[in-house]
Amino acid sequence: MRHFEIVRLADTGLDAKWESYVDSTPHASLYHALEWREILLRAFGHRSWYLMALDRGKTRGVLPLVEMKSSLFGHFFVSLPFLDYGGILADAPEYEVALATAAADLAAKRGARHIELRQSFAATGSVAAGWKLRQHKAALVIPLSSDPEVHWSGLNSRLRGKVRRAEKSGATFSVETLDGLDDFYRVFSLNMRNLGTPVYSSSFFQHVLRRARDAVVMVVRHEGRPAAAAIALRRGQRVEMPWICSDYTQSSSSLNEYLYWNAIQWACRSGARELDLGRCSIGGGVFRFKMQWNPKIRPLFWYYWLAPGVELPELSPDNPRYAFAVECWKKMPLALANLLGPWIVRSVP
């Protein structure tokens, strides 16, 4: 007989227990923190289901879930949408299995087609056996020295030359907070339109910068204009850069390389031990660019529960069925793309 229970956080008032558990779990992502529940609710309006395994009052596992429902892309749950990581944290396989089972029961009861768990580590036991696994993405993480010169000496001469060229051209790098958001969004929205991908609203990033712990904006400016930018987040001794962008019309100036190098220097000097360059598709162009900086490749484990008769979802711009829409989006006026993008992307995890 099971000696523990699965509860929904909103029903119990156990926020402090959740936060304490996440803070004490080494492989927790910063997105497991409850501030991200609030960020996603305020920015996108999606309902959340935060499940906790309690054993005689002690927290033994957690699973943050967000329910997404739209006429465009259907009804499903994600842990966690719009973010690089999520999934189950558990002290033992029995708690992991119980949380996964509770999630599947919830999804079936609410008529969802699938659940997606974006984990940075492999599941165990019946979860690994009973859920579909996709390993198409990886995180690229640089183990940091306290001395940036250690990293500089490890870069190839061509890459170092690009960084020097940007520096000589008068490019500047700064670390800001909300005051840098407009410049970040100017570059980010242009970059997303050029990729044929709907853009998040500026208000999403406002919520991130106001509510996420130690969130900053990094901006490279050239000739008085923002040319490359990133939002960086920190948890303990780990810095993550989930949103990085550059103006490709200025690619000959190597300003994207200048952004990455300065981000590495800043992370080293801030005392971080790791710099996560964000997830990307294995073997793609972004993957190859990031590999120049000598990161470690950490495979990601995306697990799926599927309702009967449902196939693995393909909600990706790389899906051939969206190719025509992607090409049309690339040609759209930027103002129109920025108007329509947030309405569409709120349904795309």
What does the pLDDT look like over 185-218, one tens digit per residue?
999 999 999 999 999 999 999 999 999 989 999 9
On the question of pLDDT at 3 being above 80, the answer is no
On the question of pLDDT at 31 being above 70, the answer is yes
Q: Where are the domains of the chain?
A: 5-135+301-313, 139-297
Class of domain 5-135+301-313: alpha beta
User: 242, 211, 234: which is closest to 38 by C-alpha?
Assistant: 211
What does the pLDDT look like over 149-164, one tens digit per residue?
999 999 999 999 999 9
* Separation between Cα atoms, residue 70 and residue 39, nearest integer Å: 20
Class of domain 139-297: alpha beta
Q: Do domains 5-135+301-313 and 139-297 have the same CATH topology?
A: yes
Burial of 275 (0-12, 13-18, 19+ CB in 10 A): buried
User: What pTM, to 2 d.p., does this model score?
Assistant: 0.93
